[in-house]
Amino acid sequence: MINKKVDNVIDALRGVTGGMTMIFGGFGLSGIPENAIAKLVDLEVSELTCISNNAGVDDFGLGLLLQKKQIKKMISSYVGENDEFERQMLSGELDVELIPQGTLAERCRAAQSGFPAIYTPAGYGTEVAEGKETREFDGKMYVLEHAFKADFGFVKAWKGDAAGNLIFKGTARNFNPNMCGAAKITVAEVEELVPVGSLDPNQIHIPGIFIQRIFQGDFYEKRIEQLTVRQKN
């Protein structure tokens, strides 16, 4: 059995340099690779192209990289609650490519499966389709979208083993599974790293073949992006 465990986040990020294209799992603040992002901030790598559903919030997640001006381009489907993301986009400081959420997921999955591109009806007849190949299938028009080409992918799971098998918990099972294997090197950080054979094979969401490095994170804040509570009677 191949052992993909690395001792810490520093070893997990071996080979990361400025100017790379990176994929980040998560949706809002759920299931984001917090430890990997924090270390990228510390390493001060810059000129990054980041592919993610959104960019977290101002002081958490990818928002930390935005604050330090380490991201040159964001490819995402949602600006979200990040005021700095919005400011940099409107001022022209940040190159932003907004794409439909389903298209983002499928472009990740295409890369994961080894497909060069997909056809999707999303965006046909809008600015999203400008300059792209279109084709008719069964009387309906589709837009050609290319699979992502990323150097590193960072995902976060609940449990994993040294072979890279992963189990996601709750809402963290969002973009993370599609992003496993969608980059040249996929790094998985987990809340709990267990010996090979400890996981029930029937519960594994992603097999280790899609993962190159895995480590146990030091700490997870588990923030709530928007908290709504009922007023007392």
For 146-167, the pLDDT digits (tens) are: 999 999 999 999 999 999 999 9
Per-residue pLDDT of 116-140, as tens digits, reads 999 999 999 999 899 999 999 999 9
- Whether 48 is in a domain gets the answer yes
Q: Is 119 exposed, middle or buried (0-12, 13-18, 19+ CB in 10 A)?
A: middle
Structural domain boundaries, residue 29: 9-100+148-216
Per-residue pLDDT of 206-225, as tens digits, reads 999 999 999 999 888 877 77
Q: Rounded CA gap, 48 and 70, in Å?
A: 6
pLDDT: which is higher, 233 or 92: 92
- Whether 168 is in a domain gets the answer yes
The pTM of the full predicted model, rounded to 2 decimals, is 0.92
- Whether 230 is in a domain gets the answer no
- Whether 123 is in a domain gets the answer no
Nearest to 21 by CA among 87, 75, 64, 81: 75
Per-residue pLDDT of 99-114, as tens digits, reads 999 999 999 999 999 9
CATH of the domain at 93: 3.40.1080.10
- Whether 190 is in a domain gets the answer yes
- Whether 78 is in a domain gets the answer yes
The total number of structural domains in the chain stands at 1
Per-residue pLDDT of 171-192, as tens digits, reads 899 999 999 999 999 999 999 9
- Whether 51 is in a domain gets the answer yes
Q: Where are the alpha helices (DSSP H) in 59-151?
A: 63-67, 83-91, 101-113
- Whether 227 is in a domain gets the answer no
Per-residue pLDDT of 23-60, as tens digits, reads 999 988 889 999 999 999 999 999 999 999 988 888 88
